[in-house]
A and B are shown apart, each in its own frame.
Chain A
Amino acid sequence: MSFIVELSLIAGLLAIDDRAGWQSLLAQPVFAGSLVGLVVGEFQVGVAVGLVLEIIWLSILPMRGQRRPDQVAGAVVGAGTAGLLLRLTADPRILLITAVGILVGLIVGEVTGRLLSPFNRFQNVVLGRVDLRNSSRIASGLLGLQLASLVYIFLVEGLLVFTFLSLSLNVTEWLTGAVSLVGSQGWLRLLPIIGAASLIHLYWQHSLKRVLVMFTVLTVLVLWIT
């Protein structure tokens, strides 16, 4: 239980960085997963879960109008689930639990991405209604609003992660019993290809595709030779 609370608090802080701060990359799955792995004591599993989530979500840029999965919740719940399961059950099937963690992270990221929309809309509406033009204490009013906004982001994300992490720990125990190691192994091997395709899609523009293809061929050649 204490780990779940700890991870929820971390998720709240990461959400502040992602949605209100300067986006330091700490909220990106590869870093968030590593951080969660460190906290739980399963660093390599945390990195692995974060890496695969990052590869898959890499091409989704936070540009205007683009619906994004909640990468913070996905990474924290995914890496947290895998790490905690390994720590609590001492299950030797590390690969299977990592795969389950990734699947949970992907699903939670998509679900919480949608669940966050009304919360974000509410925040937007409240902030949009603020009229401080004629206020005599505009400076303190704005500072108070900013602090309230940060606390709101922290609480919403923390609560979402707390709920999904508690749920996922129960579900994954069942899932690890039901899914075969071979199937999840094959899935894990194929996932990086989705990431590679995402990057090809991202850089497949007139002038850049030549650079992309050239460096791909060069890398493959160098790796084959060495």
Chain B
Amino acid sequence: MDNLNTLTRFDLFRVFLRLLFMQGLLNRRGMQNLALANALAPVAGKIDAGRVKSLQSRHLDFFNCNPNFVPVIVGGLLRLEVERLAGKPVSDNDIQYFKKSLAGPLAAAGDMLFIGSAKPLALTCACIFAIYKFPIGLLAVFLLYNLTIISCRLWGIYFGYAKGWELVDFFTGPVFQRLLGVVHGIGAAVAGIFVGVVFDRVPQTGPWVLVMGAVLLGTTLFALRRNVPASWLAIILFPISVLLSLLVGRW
């Protein structure tokens, strides 16, 4: 395992730093290919020794994954590159296969975990704190979320580098699926609390709002099922509210 010392923890940390702003190089043709090649720059000198084609130009093919899971794949592919440098039989095709076999599933899993669960969960918590005018709670949500995301990315690159090919087994195993289920469940629970807070406040504002609220809830659910954005409903509701206030006189 001595060959793993080719790249130090600091080298991997520099790669991680470059991955923080990777979405700036997103493009339709190669998606994250430019960002991936850019992130490999700090370690290219150590891995390129004696090779005709540079490390960066070998990784300019199409690549797309959830940005929070890209460090895991980058760590894994750096491990394979280092193993090849140490004389192990790893070809360019093996590395391409490794990237492709992980990028697809991790993109879907990352979207579900981070965009579909963790982010709405954090934002729902932030909204509850904002409703109760508790700015420290807002700050805590912000710090906790960023700590989670950053540490997940940092852990990802070290974990990927330590595991190499074993990454495929880890992410297809039951542990990850269970984690996804737990985060989803917590998200639904916090969403339930938020809906409860909103439902509790509506009757306090008078019978007109209660009736209108019930109608609006049904209309919004119906519209959302037909892919009408909620923001459009909110905008349309403004003139209706003003008109109703003129007709009814008060809310």
Contact = CB atoms under 8 A, between A and B. Distances in A.
A190 B212 contact: yes
Contacts of A31: 126, 138, 142
Contacts of B145: 24-25
A21 B35 CA distance: 12
Given A24-B146, A58-B124, A58-B127, A193 B235 contact: no
Contacts of A123: 27
Interface string A101-137: 0010011011000000000000111011110111100
B38 A142 contact: yes
A198 B222 CA distance: 11
Contacts of B198: 192-193, 195-196
A207 B16 CA distance: 36
Majority SS at the chain B contact face? helix
Given A20-B24, A54-B127, A189-B202, A63 B111 contact: yes
Interface string B224-251: 1100011111110110011111100111
B200 to A, nearest CB: 4
B195 A56 contact: no
A186 B241 contact: yes
Interface string A41-69: 00110010011001111111111100001
B133 A47 contact: yes
A106 B196 contact: no
Interface string A138-177: 1100110110011001000000000000000000000000
- Most B CB contacts (10 A, CB to CB) among A16, A54, A189, A223 go to A189
A197 B213 contact: no
Given A58-B123, A196-B194, A218-B192, A106 B231 contact: yes
B20 A138 contact: no
Contacts of A218: 192, 196
Given A22-B153, A197-B220, A186 B213 contact: no
Contact of B200 (A134, A194, A202, A220): A220
A223 B221 contact: no
A212 B244 CA distance: 33
A3 interface: no
Contacts of A24: 142, 145-146, 149
Nearest to B38: A142
B76 interface: no
A56 B234 contact: yes
Contacts of A219: 192-193, 195-197, 200
Contacts of A211: 185, 188-189, 192
Interface of A: 16, 19-26, 28, 30-31, 34, 43-44, 47, 50-51, 54-64, 69, 103, 106-107, 109-110, 123-125, 127-130, 132-135, 138-139, 142-143, 145-146, 149-150, 153, 179-180, 182-187, 189-203, 208-209, 211-220, 222-224
Given A187-B238, A190-B216, 9 more contacts: A24-B146, A44-B133, A47-B138, A56-B231, A142-B25, A186-B212, A186-B245, A211-B189, A215-B189
28 contacts: A22-B67, A25-B142, A25-B145, A26-B142, A34-B130, A54-B130, A57-B230, A60-B229, A60-B230, A60-B231, A124-B26, A125-B28, A130-B27, A132-B56, A132-B60, A143-B38, A146-B21, A183-B241, A189-B202, A189-B205, A189-B209, A193-B202, A201-B224, A202-B120, A203-B187, A216-B196, A217-B196, A219-B200
